[in-house]
Amino acid sequence: MSKKRSYFASADDSRGTIILVLSIIMLLLGLIGIKVKINHDLSTPFSYHMHFESTEGMASSEEGNTDGSVSVRDDYTYAVNISKHWLNDPGVPLQTNGAQYDNVITNNSDYDLVKWSVVIEVPEKNITIDSSWNGEWVYDKKNSTITVTPDERIATIRSGEKADFGAVMISKELMNFTDVNLTGCRYKPMRAFPLFWLIMILIVAWATSVIAYILYRIREENHRKNSERLNNVISQTMTTFANFIDTKDRYTKGHSARVSYYSQKIAEKLGMSEDEVRDIGYIGLMHDCGKLAIPGTILNKPGTLTEEEFDIMRSHTTNGGSILSEFSAIEGIKDGALYHHERYDGKGYMEGLSGEDIPLVARIIGVADALDAMNSDRCYRNHLSRDVIIAELENNKGTQFDPKIAQITIDMIQNGEIFIENGD
């Protein structure tokens, strides 16, 4: 029985371990998924084309997709303003305009803007960039564009924040920036994803579950060890007591242990639980405890008992019931001693119970007791052969024995689960 218990305990451990491992794998995959999303955003630049109607105000923006389509968005806004301007060499044909162009990009999205730059289309071919701040300004005369690359102070524009940059430029006329292209990458730290915090909560719950599971397994293991220790004490105590009982009758040495074994085999076939099978083994060990009160002269008498002696012998059932009356730790242990000589047809002793009015444990013990009696040498006869025992069980189904239990026993003898020597 310990092997069976160990198998189920091992199966429970395996299932629990598998569930915990799969859970943490799924949570880690969730974190990896977020990290993959972050890396994808950092390695996939987007592009906006923003159009201005004047040098003041903000531009509407269109995001260029990889398939060439565009979608109007308000995640980013760009504004430029001429904060001051002046004439250089006024009144001469080559007079020029100097101006300070202040630029602002506002990040209205849920992501930080990184790795960004702007390309400004300018209306003139001859422009001089006098100075700039918060970024590098590069004029491409051929394409009439200025590329602005931010310096480290504004390299990252946080979500909800803005970045200021600008330049002083000299041109023939004051310039209106009507078209600006913004390129960059989105970045959101892992902690900014709601899914991240959900996973963190689940990981805390997972860790709590692991701790609880470990503590549970420790407690279960301690309980199992204590139960095994207690069962061993009970088993050894009862086996010792049963041996003491059997020593009163030199012809029945080991009888209680064999009845215990046969009873457990029958109980297993009846589909009883592991604990019930264990307990019926104990009941089998104690079924004849009432013989302690029977004189040895009667137990070992080689001849036929007188009526008075037989009455004394029969009293071992009631004696056993009295001895075990206060034993409540094992359900049915008193019934096994008190009723194992009742018959299915109601002609047994001591109360004349019949059928299923006889407790199940007593019906099982009754068949097991009769089987060992037939298979053992007694003071008045030798043991019976296998065929005779099977015939006796068959002929007494429904009379002396519960027919179902008798048939189970016959089947076990025939298929070799209970070995009976086929001889004289």
pLDDT at 52: 66
Question: Do residue 251 and residue 395 come from a single domain?
Answer: yes
| Same-domain check for residues 256 and 405 | yes
Whether residue 382 is found in the same domain as residue 323: yes
In the predicted structure, residue 69 carries a pLDDT above the cut 50:
no
Number of Cβ atoms within 10 Å of the Cβ of 203:
16
- Return the pLDDT at 229: 85
Count the Cβ atoms, other than its own, within 10 Å of residue 72: 8
In angstroms, the Cα distances linking 303 to 85, 231, 381 are: 139, 40, 10
161 and 259 assigned to the same domain: no
Question: Looking at 207, 234, 257, which one is the last position of a domain?
Answer: 207
Could you tell me which residues come within 8 angstroms of residue 185 by beta carbon, excluding any fewer than 6 positions away?
Answer: 41, 42, 43, 44, 45, 46, 113, 114, 115, 116
Distance CA 287, CA 341 (A): 10
Domain boundary among 207, 233, 256: 207
Domain membership flag for residue 213: no
Domain assignment of residue 159, yes or no = yes
Does the predicted TM-score (pTM) go above 0.85? no
The verdict on 359 and 380 lying in the same domain is yes
Residue 135 shares a structural domain with residue 269:
no
Question: pLDDT per residue over 194-216, tens digit each?
Answer: 999 999 999 999 999 889 888 98
pLDDT digits (tens, 9 = 90+) for 114-141: 999 999 999 888 899 999 999 999 999 9
* Residue 232 counted as domain residue: no
Q: Distance of CA 142 to CAs 46, 116, 127, 312, Å?
A: 25, 23, 12, 128
Domain of 292, CATH number, reads 1.10.3210.10
Question: Confidence band (pLDDT; 50, 70, 90) for 367?
Answer: very high
| Rounded Cα–Cα distance for residues 260 and 280 (Å) | 7
Q: Do the domain assignments include residue 400?
A: yes
- Statement to judge: residues 364 and 275 lie in one domain: yes
If asked whether residues 106 and 34 sit together in one domain, one would say no
Number of domains in the chain: 3
What's the Cα-to-Cα distance from 262 to each of 241, 268, 269, 363, 369, rounded to whole Å? Answer: 19, 10, 11, 12, 8
Instruction: Work out the mean pLDDT of the chain and round it to a whole number.
Output: 87
One domain, residues 50 and 186: yes
pLDDT of residue 374: 92
Domain of residue 326 covers 247-414
- 387 and 334, same domain (yes or no): yes
pLDDT digits (tens, 9 = 90+) for 274-328: 999 999 999 999 999 999 898 988 888 888 889 999 999 999 999 999 999 998 8
